[in-house]
C-alpha cells in the first residue's frame, strides 16, 4: 500500500536565533525521553522531527540558552 | 541524516549484573549492586537517557508511601495496603518494604533530595490514605534525577543510553544468561551477557488510548510501553494479577494527575457538579475509581478537584508544586484554557487502562527479594508485583534487587545460551526494516490501542472481551506480516507496538481467567459481579508454557500482619453516605 505523509502541528518549538546546536550542542536531543528531537542538516538547529511528545519539559528545562519552548500538543490543548 | 539511518551490525559485551531501565528503580538497583561488589561490572541499559528517563523525568512532588517512625508503623502500612488491595497481597514483600523505606529516605536525603520538615525539624507527613499517614512532600523534588545521576557517575556504573532491550537470553536449564538489545538510533544489535539481570522497565502505560486521541498523551511516561512485561513473558517468567488494571483519576485531556495527594492535605477535595464530596478518601484504589466512574455516569458528573474555597496563599503554594515538578506543563495547560484554581475547579476524568503495580497490583511476579520465577532474573519498580509501591517502593525494592542480584552473580558463572536464539531475535527485530511496502507502526499502534479502549476498558464484559481478542489477533497478524520501519526511530516504535500488543493479549487472558469481580473498577466483570472469596481469594499467575499463554491460581501467602474481619472492608466503604 502506498504511504502518504500527514500534516501535524508539533508542540516543541525552537528559536533558531538562540539555539546553539550548530556549535555542537545536543542537550535537548540527548535528554528527550521519546527521542523526538533532531538537528537539521540544513539549518544546523534543533527541531522536532517526530510528533510523539509527552510534553514533559526536559528539553526546555535543560536547554542552556533558553531556545526551546514546549507547548501542549494541539489535540489535548 | 546520519541519525536514524539503519546500520547493519552486531556486537557482544558482558557484565556481572545487567540492569535494564534507568528510571527510578534501575539507578538504585545498579548503585546498590555496585556498592555490594565494587569490583564487579554493572551495566545500566536505558532506552532513552538516564538523565531524564522514566516516570520521574521531571522529578516528583513527594513520597506517597513513606513509613516514618512516629507517624506510621510497618505493621500499619502493611495492613493498609492489604486492605486497599482487597486482601490479595503477599505481605512479606510489602512488610519488608515498609521496614526498609525509612533508611532509603535517609539515603535520598544524603544525596541532596530534601523532604518537608516542620518547625521542630521532624518530617511533615500528611494524611491521604484511608487509615494511616504516609505522604511526605519533597520541596526540591525536581532535582531527583540529577541527584541520582551524580551517584551513578561517582560509583562508575557503565551507562548505555538509547539501547532498547527486546528479549532475554536463557541457558538450556532455564537460568538467565543476558539480554538482546537494539540501538534506537542505528538499529545495531547489542548482545549483553550477564550473570544476573534486573528488569526496571516501568509500567505498561501506552496500552489504552487517551481520550484526546493523542497517542503520547499518557499518564505514564509514554516511553513506558510495557517492554518489561513482554520480555518477562517471553522469558517464561510468571506475571501476577494483570487483570488488576491501573486506571487513574486525571486532569481531563491533559491526562496527568491533578493532584489530590498534593492538594488534599491543604483542604482540596474531589467534588461532583454540585460541588459536593462523594468519596471518603482520595487515595487511588480500585474501589475509589469505581465510585469516580459511577459519579461520572450518574448525571452528577463531571467530577472536579476543588480548590477555590481555599485561601489564595494556600492555592499559590499548591500551584508552586503542581507547576514545577512531575508534570510542570500542568500550569501551561490550565493557562491555555483560562482556568484559575482560585475561581474554577479542575475538570477530572478517568484514564485509559494500563499495567502498573506502582498504583495497583499488575506486575511481573516477585518475592520479597525481588526475584522473579526465572533464576537470576529480578524485577523492581512499576513493573514488579509488589502492590501500590510508588516511587519510594521503586527505590526500596530496586535496592533489594540490586543487592540480591549481585549476590547471585558472585555465586554463579555466565550461563551458556544458544547462539541460534540471537540470530532468531535479530531476524524478528529487523523484519519491519526488510519490507518494501506495508503499514507504519503508528497506525498499527493506534488501532491496537483503540481496540483496547473499545473492548477492554472496564466494566469487563465477556462477550466484548471475546470480540476484542479476535480484533487484536487480526491487528497482530498485520503487525507480524506487514509492518514496515523505514528508519531506526520507526523501528523503535515498531518494537514498542509489539510490547503493547503482548500486553493487550495478556490483559484479555488474565481478565477472562478471574471469574469474579475484585479491586473495584480495575476488575469489574459484569458476568461475575460479586467478589468470590471462596474460589478467587488468590493471585493469578500468567505465563508462557509450551509457547502458549496460560493462567493459574497461586495461594496468597499467610499474612504477617493479621487483618481483623471488621477491617477487611474499610476500602469498600468509599462513598459518602447521605445524612438525614
E strand or H helix that includes residue B544? strand B538-545
Provide the mean pLDDT of chain B: 95
- For the stretch B130-139, pLDDT in tens is 888 999 999 8
As given in the structure block, the three cell numbers for residue B228 are 518489561
What DSSP state is assigned to residue B457? S
Over its C-alpha atoms, chain A yields an Rg (Å, rounded) of: 13
pLDDT confidence of residue B571: 85
Mean pLDDT, residues B151-159 taken together: 97
Cβ neighbours of B416 (radius 10 Å): 14
C-alpha cell recorded at residue B230 = 513482554
Residues whose CB is less than 8 angstroms from the CB of residue B80 and which lie 6 or more positions away in sequence, other chains included = B129, B130, B131, B132
Residues of A in contact with B337 (CB under 8 A): 77
Chain B CB within 8 Å of residue A54 CB: yes
Cβ–Cβ below 8 Å for B329 and A70: yes
Q: Tell me: the pLDDT tens digits for B256-268?
A: 998 888 888 889 9
Q: What's the average model confidence in pLDDT over B480-503?
A: 98
Query: Rounded to an integer, what distance in angstroms lies between the CA atom of residue B302 and that of residue B304?
Result: 7
Contact status, residue B194 vs residue B469, Cβ threshold 8 Å:
no
Q: What is the ipTM of this complex?
A: 0.98
pLDDT > 70 in chain B, percent? 99
Distance from CA of B97 to the nearest CA of A (A): 29
In a 3-state reduction of DSSP, which class is residue B330? helix
State mean pLDDT over A8-30: 97
Report yes or no: B513 and B485 within 8 Å, Cβ to Cβ. Answer: no
**pLDDT at residue A5, as a whole number:** 87
> Is the Cβ pair B221, A58 closer than 8 Å?
no
Contact residues on chain B for A3, CB-CB shorter than 8 A = 440
Give the DSSP letter of residue B186. T
- Mutation site, B53, B215, B252, B329, interface A, largest A CB count within 10 A: B329
Q: Per residue in B496-511, is it b (16+ CB within 10 Å) or e — as a string?
A: bbbbbbbbbbbbbbbb
β-partners of residue B270 are B305
Nearest to A57 among B162, B223, B328 (CB): B328
- Which residues from B are below 8 Å from A27, CB to CB? none
The whole-number pLDDT of residue B578 equals 60
**Rounded CA separation B560/B562 (Å):** 6
The average pLDDT across B339-346 equals 94
Picking from B24, B52, B339 by the largest number of A CB atoms within 10 A of its own CB, the best residue to mutate is B52
Predicted TM-score (pTM) of this structure: 0.97
Of all residues in chain B, the percent with pLDDT exceeding 90 is 90
pLDDT at residue B1, as a whole number? 46
Of B48, B51, B214, the CB nearest to A76: B214
Model confidence at A56, in pLDDT bands (50, 70, 90)? very high
| pLDDT computed for residue B580 by the predictor | 46
More confident residue, B254 or B568: B254
Residues in chain B closer than 8 A to A75 (CB atoms): 212-214, 217
Q: Name every chain A residue with its beta carbon within 8 A of the beta carbon of B164.
A: none
E strand or H helix that includes residue B306: strand B303-306
Which residues partner with A57 through β-bridges? Answer: none
Residues in A 5-44 with any Cβ partner in B closer than 8 A? 30-35, 38-39, 41
Fold classified for A16-65: Alpha-Beta Plaits (3.30.70)
Contacts of B253 in chain A (CB under 8 A): 76-77
Cβ–Cβ of B329/A31 closer than 8 Å?
no
Are B255 and A54 a contacting pair at CB < 8 A?
no
Amino acid at each position: 500500500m502506498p504511504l502518504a505523509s500527514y500534516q501535524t502541528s508539533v508542540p516543541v518549538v525552537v528559536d533558531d536565533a538562540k539555539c546553539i546546536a550548530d556549535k555542537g550542542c545536543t542537550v535537548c536531543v540527548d535528554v528527550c525521553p521519546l527521542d523526538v528531537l533532531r538537528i537539521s542538516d540544513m539549518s544546523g538547529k534543533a527541531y522536532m522531527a517526530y510528533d510523539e511528545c509527552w510534553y514533559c519539559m526536559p528539553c526546555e528545562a535543560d536547554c542552556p540558552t533558553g531556545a526551546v519552548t514546549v507547548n501542549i500538543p494541539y489535540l489535548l490543548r | 541524516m546520519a541519525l536514524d539511518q539503519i546500520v547493519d551490525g552486531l556486537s557482544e559485551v558482558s557484565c556481572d549484573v545487567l540492569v535494564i531501565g534507568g528510571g527510578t528503580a534501575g539507578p538504585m538497583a545498579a548503585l546498590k549492586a555496585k556498592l555490594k561488589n565494587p569490583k564487579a561490572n554493572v551495566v545500566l541499559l536505558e532506552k532513552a537517557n538516564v538523565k531524564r528517563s522514566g516516570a520521574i523525568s521531571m522529578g516528583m512532588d513527594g513520597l506517597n508511601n513513606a513509613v516514618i517512625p512516629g507517624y506510621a508503623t510497618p505493621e500499619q502500612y502493611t495492613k493498609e495496603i492489604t486492605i486497599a488491595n482487597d486482601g490479595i497481597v503477599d505481605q512479606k514483600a510489602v512488610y519488608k518494604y515498609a521496614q526498609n523505606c525509612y533508611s532509603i529516605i535517609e539515603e535520598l536525603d544524603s544525596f541532596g533530595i530534601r523532604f518537608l520538615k516542620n518547625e521542630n525539624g521532624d518530617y511533615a507527613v500528611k494524611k491521604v490514605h484511608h487509615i494511616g499517614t504516609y505522604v511526605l512532600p519533597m520541596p526540591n523534588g525536581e532535582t531527583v534525577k540529577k541527584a541520582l545521576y551524580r551517584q551513578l557517575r561517582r560509583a562508575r556504573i557503565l551507562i548505555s543510553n538509547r539501547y532498547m532491550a527486546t528479549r532475554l537470553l536463557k541457558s538450556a536449564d532455564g537460568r538467565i544468561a543476558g539480554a538482546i538489545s537494539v540501538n534506537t538510533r542505528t538499529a545495531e544489535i547489542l548482545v549483553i551477557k550477564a550473570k544476573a539481570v534486573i528488569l526496571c522497565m516501568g509500567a505498561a502505560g501506552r496500552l489504552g488510548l487517551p481520550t484526546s486521541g493523542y497517542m503520547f498523551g499518557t499518564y505514564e511516561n509514554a516511553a513506558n510501553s510495557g517492554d518489561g512485561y513482554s520480555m518477562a513473558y517471553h522469558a517464561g517468567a510468571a506475571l501476577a494479577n494483570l487483570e488488576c488494571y491501573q486506571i487513574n483519576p486525571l486532569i481531563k485531556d491533559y491526562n496527568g494527575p491533578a493532584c489530590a495527594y498534593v492538594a488534599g492535605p491543604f483542604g482540596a477535595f474531589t467534588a461532583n457538579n454540585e460541588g459536593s464530596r462523594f468519596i471518603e478518601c482520595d487515595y487511588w484504589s480500585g474501589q475509589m475509581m469505581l465510585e469516580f466512574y459511577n459519579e461520572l455516569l450518574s448525571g452528577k458528573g463531571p467530577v472536579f478537584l476543588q480548590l477555590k474555597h481555599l485561601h489564595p496563599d494556600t492555592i499559590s503554594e499548591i500551584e508552586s508544586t503542581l507547576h514545577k515538578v512531575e508534570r510542570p506543563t500542568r500550569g501551561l495547560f490550565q493557562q491555555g484554557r483560562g482556568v484559575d484554581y482560585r475561581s474554577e475547579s479542575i475538570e477530572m476524568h478517568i484514564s485509559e487502562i494500563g499495567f502498573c503495580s506502582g498504583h495497583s497490583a499488575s506486575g511481573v511476579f516477585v518475592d520479597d527479594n525481588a526475584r522473579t520465577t526465572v533464576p537470576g532474573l529480578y524485577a523492581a519498580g512499576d513493573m514488579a508485583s509488589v502492590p501500590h509501591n510508588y516511587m519510594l517502593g521503586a527505590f526500596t525494592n530496586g535496592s533489594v534487587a540490586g543487592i540480591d542480584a549481585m549476590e547471585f552473580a558472585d555465586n554463579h558463572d555466565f550461563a551458556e545460551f544458544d547462539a541460534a536464539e540471537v540470530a532468531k531475535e535479530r531476524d524478528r527485530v529487523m523484519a519491519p526494516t526488510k519490507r518494501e511496502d506495508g503499514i507504519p507502526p503508528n497506525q498499527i499502534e493506534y488501532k491496537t490501542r483503540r481496540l483496547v479502549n473499545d473492548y477492554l476498558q472496564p466494566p469487563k464484559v465477556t462477550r466484548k472481551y471475546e470480540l476484542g481478542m479476535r480484533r487484536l489477533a487480526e491487528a497482530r497478524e498485520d503487525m507480524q506480516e506487514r509492518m514496515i520501519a523505514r528508519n531506526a526511530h520507526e523501528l523503535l516504535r515498531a518494537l514498542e507496538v509489539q510490547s503493547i500488543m503482548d500486553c493487550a493479549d495478556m490483559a484479555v487472558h488474565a481478565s477472562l481467567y478471574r471469574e469474579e469481580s475484585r479491586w473495584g473498577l480495575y476488575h469489574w466483570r459484569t458476568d461475575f459481579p460479586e467478589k468470590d472469596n471462596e474460589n478467587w481469594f488468590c493471585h493469578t499467575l500468567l505465563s508462557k508454557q509450551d509457547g502458549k499463554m496460560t493462567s493459574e491460581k497461586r495461594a496468597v501467602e499467610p499474612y504477617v500482619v493479621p487483618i481483623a474481619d471488621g477491617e477487611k472492608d474499610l476500602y469498600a466503604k468509599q462513598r459518602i453516605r447521605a445524612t438525614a
